[in-house]
């Protein structure tokens, strides 16, 4: 098979209960201001698109045609969305680009489980603090001061925190202060604050659609969709450097530009909108003081590059699904590595 694939820290000794209460109060205040403006319909059930909940075979290839599939918005809880076995997400596509073998083991055979990481927890916390602030303090708690897990006293304090906060994720103090710092930056930035709080915006709602070329069933979950202004907003947190040059490189390495194309296509089909009229904006937040935040869009060439990569990737994925051959093209012969495109201009 001739495939060619590419493969600030928190203050020490001063963050006692009073400080934690101040942080909680700040986040709660942000929640109050945002909750009055955010119109987030999370009532559950299908809102015109999605799947009918029919039994799924034990071994199924995501993306294949299934009964009950509908194009449109799909309003389901996070666990249902992430565990859906009939559609392909952008994250799954990224895994395929990395390794078809890994894709097969993780999403078809289900023999490879992705562990939850500290960075993932912190990123989720920041997303929730900014997009669903009313849920933040219900889901996360700051780790107690002086609670190292290598001492008996520290273990006791940590265990007490767990017992007092059942079901909550305990954030390390540095990560808690990062969420606090970014939230304060956003609260003080009128442009970003308006994007996240304007009336009519819809947060964390998924949609389903079909790839027009390969007929693959697809899904995506936008952080925020502004139907009045036809704007998709995606929040990228925990970046070492949110400056334009650094973000450009991260956007390429982590496929943010293909995500823009993927989500735009999904919104276009789900709501029957001309994709050319939809704008995709990224709010990029730094994880270190002064917790700078940038707003970015991708130019036409970057988006065309992303569309081409997606088109080729879906074709290769469809081929693998048909042949059942999940060996990566770069493992059987020498693969020529190209110079990153952003370095060729210099």
Give the range of the structural domain holding residue 195, as residue numbers without chain letter: 17-49+60-330
Statement: residue 46 has pLDDT above 60: no
Q: Poorest-confidence range of 50-64, 118-132, 199-213, 314-328?
A: 50-64
What is the per-residue pLDDT for 334? 84
What is the per-residue pLDDT for 345? 62
| Strand 202-210, strand 217-226: pairing | antiparallel
Distance CA 105, CA 96 (A): 11
pLDDT tens digits for range 84-123? 989 999 999 999 999 999 999 999 998 887 766 677 788 8
Considering the domain boundaries, does residue 1 fall inside one?
A: no
Considering the domain boundaries, does residue 9 fall inside one?
A: no
Cα atoms in the 13 Å half-sphere on the side-chain side of 328: 17
Using N-to-C axis directions, what is the helix angle for 190-197 and 173-187, rounded to 10°?
100
pLDDT band at 10 (very low <50, low <70, confident <90, very high): very low
62: which residues sit within 8 A by CB, 6+ positions away? 84, 85, 86, 87, 88, 92, 107, 108, 217
Considering the domain boundaries, does residue 326 fall inside one?
A: yes
Considering the domain boundaries, does residue 7 fall inside one?
A: no
Considering the domain boundaries, does residue 250 fall inside one?
A: yes
Using N-to-C axis directions, what is the helix angle for 17-35 and 190-197, rounded to 10°?
60
Considering the domain boundaries, does residue 55 fall inside one?
A: no
Tokens of 104: 């097969």
**What letters, b where the CB count within 10 A reaches 16 and e where it falls short, cover 305-316?**
bbbebbeebbeb
Contacts 24+ apart (CB under 8 A), 20-29: 20/142, 23/142, 23/176, 23/177, 23/180, 24/137, 26/180, 26/183, 26/184, 27/129, 27/133, 27/136, 27/137, 27/179, 27/180, 27/183, 28/133, 28/137
Nearest C-alpha neighbor of 127 from the set 169, 156, 71, 161 = 169
98: buried, middle or exposed (CB in 10 Å: 19+, 13-18, 0-12)? middle
What is the per-residue pLDDT for 179? 94
- Mean per-residue pLDDT for 217-238? 95
Considering the domain boundaries, does residue 67 fall inside one?
A: yes
pTM check: above 0.75: yes
pLDDT tens digits for range 112-168? 877 666 777 888 999 999 998 889 999 999 999 988 888 999 999 999 999 999 999
Considering the domain boundaries, does residue 84 fall inside one?
A: yes
Distance CA 248, CA 102 (A): 27
| Number of independent structural domains in the chain | 1
Distance CA 303, CA 282 (A): 13
- Tell me the C-alpha to C-alpha distance, in Å, between residue 226 and each of 286, 329, 335: 24, 40, 43
Nearest C-alpha neighbor of 220 from the set 234, 230, 231 = 234
Nearest C-alpha neighbor of 86 from the set 107, 113, 72 = 107
CATH value at residue 208: 3.90.320.10
Residue 169's CB is within 10 A of a number of other CB atoms, namely 13
**CB-based contact 237:120 (threshold 8 Å):** no
Q: In what order do the strands lie in the sheet with 217-226?
A: 72-74, 202-210, 217-226, 231-239, 279-286, 293-296
Statement: residue 41 has pLDDT above 60: no
What is the per-residue pLDDT for 343? 73
Tokens 């970057």 map to which residue? 302
Residue 121's CB is within 10 A of a number of other CB atoms, namely 16
């Amino acid at each position: 098979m001739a495939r060619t694939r590419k493969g600030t820290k928190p203050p020490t000794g001063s963050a006692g209960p009073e400080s934690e209460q101040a942080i909680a109060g700040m986040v709660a205040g942000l929640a109050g201001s945002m909750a009055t403006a955010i119109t987030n319909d999370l009532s559950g059930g299908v809102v015109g698109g999605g799947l009918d909940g029919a039994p799924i075979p034990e071994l199924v290839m995501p993306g294949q045609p299934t009964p009950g599939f509908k194009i449109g918005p799909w309003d389901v809880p996070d666990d249902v969305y992430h565990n859906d076995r009939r559609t392909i997400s952008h994250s799954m596509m990224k895994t395929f680009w990395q390794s078809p073998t890994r894709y097969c083991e993780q999403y078809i055979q289900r023999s490879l489980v992705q562990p939850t990481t500290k960075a993932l927890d912190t990123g989720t916390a920041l997303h929730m603090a900014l997009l669903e602030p009313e849920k933040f303090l219900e889901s996360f708690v700051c780790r107690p001061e002086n609670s190292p897990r290598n001492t008996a006293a520290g273990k006791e304090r940590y265990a007490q925190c767990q017992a007092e906060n059942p079901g909550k994720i305990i954030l390390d103090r540095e990560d808690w202060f990062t969420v606090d710092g970014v939230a304060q930056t956003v609260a003080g930035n009128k442009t970003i604050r308006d994007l996240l709080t304007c009336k009519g915006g819809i947060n964390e709602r998924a949609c389903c659609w079909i790839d027009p070329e390969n007929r693959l069933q697809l899904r995506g979950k936008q952080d925020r969709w502004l139907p009045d202004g036809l704007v998709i907003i995606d929040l990228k947190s925990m970046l070492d450097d949110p400056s334009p040059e650094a973000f450009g490189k991260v956007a390429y390495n982590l496929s943010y530009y293909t995500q823009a194309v993927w989500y735009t296509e999904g919104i276009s089909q789900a709501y029957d909108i001309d994709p050319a009229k939809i704008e995709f904006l990224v709010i990029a937040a730094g994880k270190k003081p002064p917790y700078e935040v940038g707003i970015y869009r991708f130019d036409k060439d970057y988006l065309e590059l992303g569309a081409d990569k997606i088109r080729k990737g879906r074709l290769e994925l469809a081929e693998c699904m048909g042949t059942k051959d999940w060996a990566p093209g770069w493992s059987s012969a020498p693969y020529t590595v190209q110079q990153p495109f952003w370095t060729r201009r210099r």
